Structure 1
Amino acid sequence: MARLILFNKPHGVLSQFSDDGSGRPTLSSYIDVPGIYPAGRLDRDSEGLLLLTDDGKLQARIADPRYKKPKTYLVQVEGLPDDAALSALRTGITLKDGPTLPAQACRIAPPDLWPRVPPIRYRKSVPDAWIELIITEGRNRQVRRMTAHVGHPTLRLVRWRIGDRSLDGIAPGCWRDA
């Protein structure tokens, strides 16, 4: 039977088990389970749900965009996105690597999350807001590029859900079997 692990990846951790010589923390700093591999990635600056499995077919079904598994992100952005910005995200925008599929996007109240280490920069003169963004693709730094494209650079990015699996009840740096 396939093993599936839900891990709350902290900010600054690489989504791989081996270090590239940089001295940055990797998954091996948190998970000591042989034979599992990440199903997809989160960039070093992003936090949140990372699924790991020992089943190659399951790994492909989770990570491959052909399966259109929805991924939910809680995104703190610079500025206050208006209806036009959210509408652009909902209809799809064109990035340098082509058009994105339509996303679900809405403004949300600031979520009750753990403090980020290091904290997000705070600028008194520039407001920020939170949006929930649900995409079915998984391009490199896609959410960050999408929010920047509509004029609201990402300050904090937390992947909360992949399909029906969520971070609910998993502290940063912790994991549990699905």
Structure 2
Amino acid sequence: MLIAFNKPMNVLSQFTSEGKWRGLKDWIDVPGVYAAGRLDRDSEGLLLLTDDGRLQARITDPRAKMPKTYYALVEGRPSQDAINRLCEGVSLKDGPTRPAKVAAVPAPDWLWPRDPPVRLRKTVPDAWLRLTITEGRNRQVRRMCAAVGLPCLRLIRTQIGDWTLDGLAPGQWRRIAP
């Protein structure tokens, strides 16, 4: 079994809650499934859950190089140099990243309001990037953007491999074909 879940902001990628942060059990009442990978508490979007250990390993194993696509709202205007650096891979404290596919894009027309909303500052511009990576390090996209001078204000994962978030509102889930 494979489940696609649109994880809302401030939800943990685990079934148990911790302090003020809610867990997956508040949304998904399917026994025997567990998250195939993680999505940070302050990130939103596609989280896959499965009861199949081999599928979970295929989704999460860095050697599989499964592409993951994100939309990132960043502070500042991305220069071509910053985009090129992201595309080539950047050096982080835990080593260089693999090359990424990166493009500056308009704000997505399917975007839902975030709760709480992103704090907008009238004197600081922001922009959207679409990034596809083939790794899954802790807070990787946020750290990559920061490394090129573009702090990430909002991060939404929209695709893992061929599986997408299409048609799922925050907090909704559906069974999908593995």
* TM superposition score normalised by structure 2: 0.97
**Superposition RMSD on alpha carbons, in Å?**
0.6
* TM superposition score normalised by structure 1: 0.97
- The alpha carbon displacement at 1:19 in A equals 2.2
CA distance in 2, matches of 1:149, 1:130: 16
SS at match of 2:45: strand
Query: Superposition pairs for residues 24-103 of structure 1, below 5 Å?
Result: 24-103=21-100
- The alpha carbon displacement at 1:155 in A equals 0.4
Give the equivalent residue in structure 1 for 2:157.
159
After superposition, the C-alpha distances for 1:78-133 in whole angstroms (9 at most, x for unaligned) are 00001000000000110000000000000001002000000001000000000000
After superposition, the C-alpha distances for 1:23-76 in whole angstroms (9 at most, x for unaligned) are 311100000000000000000000000000000110010011110000000000
Give the equivalent residue in structure 2 for 1:142.
140
CA distance in 2, matches of 1:121, 1:165: 31
Aligned length: 175
Segments of 5+ residues of structure 2 without an aligned counterpart are none
Counterpart among 3, 11, 14 of residue 12 in structure 2: 14
Contact 2:74 2:153 in 1 (8 A): yes
| Percent of paired sites with the same residue | 64
Contact 2:16 2:22 in 1 (8 A): no
CA distance in 2, matches of 1:70, 1:90: 14
Counterpart among 128, 131, 135 of residue 129 in structure 2: 131
